[in-house]
Structure 1
Amino acid sequence: MARSDNLTGAFLMMGAMAAFTVNDAMIKGLAGQIPVFQVMFLRGVLTTLLVGVIAWRMGALARRLPRADWGPVFWRMVGEIGSAYFFVTALFNMPIANISAIMQALPLTITLAAALFFREPVGWRRMSAIMAGFVGVMLIVRPGTDGFNVYSVYGLAAVAFVTLRDLATRRLSRDVPSMLVTLITSFCIMAAFGLASLTGEWATLDMRSVALIAGASVMIIGGYLCSIMVMRVGEISFVAPFRYTSLLWALILGWLIFGDWPQTITLIGAAIVVASGLFTLYREAQVSRRARAEEKRQLSLGPRPR
């Protein structure tokens, strides 16, 4: 693997994280002005239109979703809708760096959930890292203290729903076009929040609100496209750790735009979560390399004589 491929993958991953975090900052800029359901519906309309155009250009609309993939797509949709609601509600009511720090626990929860539900092997080293990471999460949310509120629980619920989404994604067939699944999910999110928005009053949009919603739609599509390209460039074990740059973006944007800076104990918790996640990714890469090496060794030995 050429080093330039790895560097390209790293830049794409950092670009994806930057785009997603700028999207979050734009959405947070609407807090207190536009209701959550209205924001998510309007962003969903624009996002669905953009994804639809991309899917059409890529030929994904000509493909059918196999019946065996209906179940995973349904649960992925549930995960997306749930995570969007809980994440954006928490984002509206707490510093962007705090909710971003909570979301860094995802590699840990996905590894643990895969072990529990899919029986994927997890050694004591990775399990220890997961436990340490959860200690870091507790330092961030700090239950029982003055800094704890219901929106910290919303952040944890968002992690749970994203974990469900990613586990469902693992069950999809390899030949299902990513853009087709994304389009279906985006449409369902738009429809769900559109119906939910009818339960309350709509706020009047000014030019600033329109610009932020449009910008958020472009950013989230840009982040997704970068994420797709990452999978095609570079080694995953090299590229994956750069997902944690989203926390750096959240710290910078939170300080520059909203004047927020996390407490020291929150930063310590975030550092523990990131360190645990990095170690988990490192161990997963090691295990994968050993499995591939063993598979190659078995193939080189050839079939045993009868």
Structure 2
Amino acid sequence: MSPNLIGALFMMGAMAAFTLNDTMTKTTGGEVPLFQLLFLRGLISISLILVLWGRLGPMHVRLSRRDWKLVGIRSASEVAASFFFVTALFNMPLANLSAILQSLPLTVTLGAALFYREAVGWKRMSAILVGFMGVMLIVKPGTEGFNIWSIYALVAVFFVTVRDLSTRRLSGDVPSMTVTLAAVLSVTLFSGVAQLATPWAPVSGAHWTAIAAAAVFVLMGYYFSVQTMRIGEVSFIAPFRYTGLIWALILGWFVFGDWPLPSTLAGAGIVAATGLFTLYRERKLSRR
């Protein structure tokens, strides 16, 4: 497979993992305080990284000053994105939140074109725009549904864009697991300090199960998202982020009983079609 196809698979894997993490987190229903939840999830993720040490590739801290700076920017962006995203997650439907995050292919692709001078052909940009129109068909934006939590989601979009663009600039010899560990440590340490300001809530067995499952999925999402930004072209890989919305619709239906409207299903079909079209274009160019 070409680097673009591998990157697309990593992107789809990351979107599935992150959406499963979101679902597990949302099932706690806000009964576990935000920072306590992030702290516990982070501790479990760190434990998994230690168990998997060396099995998912090398992991060391012998990085250049430039790479440490980029890892620092990426980790700080991860902390901010986690706070704004999870806060919005507890206050709005999963599918609506995921739909707002589907603006990321546009922001990341445009950022790569502006800051890194990556070429973005009109066909690829058209596929991204068509996919975004499918997202809007699902969201059906209006003044009634747009509130402070939607703004939180947009702020999360900004920080995820910064995270992905900084990942793109890392040197090739920086292990992906090192970047993943830095992200998990940053979110866990920040949450551990922040949760001291609120009373510690008891955690039921069901909530422990949900948090543990979320830790597994978020670790997978972190790792896949790092790999995604280091393989292939952003303009090709970006549309596959829309697959996260498909996962959100399916899980919202099965877990929370949110039955999609016909317009929602039509929008999801458009989103899927843009990814398939981009995949077709890449295979055609690879054969040439």
TM-score w.r.t. length of structure 2: 0.80
Check 1:281–1:93 CA distance in 2 against 1; reply closer, same or farther (3 A cut): farther
Distance 1:69 1:210 in 2: 36
- What runs of 5+ residues in structure 2 fail to find an aligned partner? none
Q: Which amino acid aligns with 1:194?
A: G
Distance 2:201 2:92 in 1: 22
Q: Which amino acid aligns with 1:213?
A: I
Check 1:81–1:238 CA distance in 2 against 1; reply closer, same or farther (3 A cut): closer
Distance 2:200 2:285 in 1: 50
2:184 maps to which residue? 186
* Cα drift, residue 157 of structure 1: 2.3
Distance 1:91 1:192 in 2: 19
1:168 aligned to 158, 166, 169, which one? 166
Distance 1:96 1:79 in 2: 22
2:111 maps to which residue? 113
* Cα drift, residue 91 of structure 1: 1.7
Distance 1:9 1:169 in 2: 14
Aligned-partner SS, 1:78: helix
> Is the 1:141–1:148 contact (alpha carbons within 8 Å) kept by the matching residues of 2?
no
* Cα drift, residue 246 of structure 1: 3.4
Deviations along 1:27-59, one digit per CA (max 9) or x if unpaired, are 000123112211111101111222233235554
* Cα drift, residue 76 of structure 1: 0.8
Q: Which amino acid aligns with 2:59?
A: A
Check 1:118–1:128 CA distance in 2 against 1; reply closer, same or farther (3 A cut): same
Distance 1:24 1:104 in 2: 15
Deviations along 1:226-276, one digit per CA (max 9) or x if unpaired, are 67888999xx99998766543333222211221113445555555555545
Aligned-partner SS, 1:48: helix
* Cα drift, residue 199 of structure 1: 2.6
1:60 maps to which residue? 59
Equivalent pairs, count: 285
> Is the 2:20–2:214 contact (alpha carbons within 8 Å) kept by the matching residues of 1?
yes
Q: Which amino acid aligns with 2:154?
A: L
> Is the 2:239–2:278 contact (alpha carbons within 8 Å) kept by the matching residues of 1?
no
Matched, 1:203 2:201: yes
1:102 maps to which residue? 100
Q: What is the root-mean-square deviation of aligned Cα atoms in Å? A: 3.9
> Is the 2:253–2:260 contact (alpha carbons within 8 Å) kept by the matching residues of 1?
no
Check 1:122–1:244 CA distance in 2 against 1; reply closer, same or farther (3 A cut): closer
Deviates more, 1:219-228 or 1:90-99: 219-228
Check 1:287–1:188 CA distance in 2 against 1; reply closer, same or farther (3 A cut): farther
Check 1:125–1:239 CA distance in 2 against 1; reply closer, same or farther (3 A cut): closer
* Cα drift, residue 65 of structure 1: 1.7
* Cα drift, residue 149 of structure 1: 2.2
* Cα drift, residue 180 of structure 1: 0.9
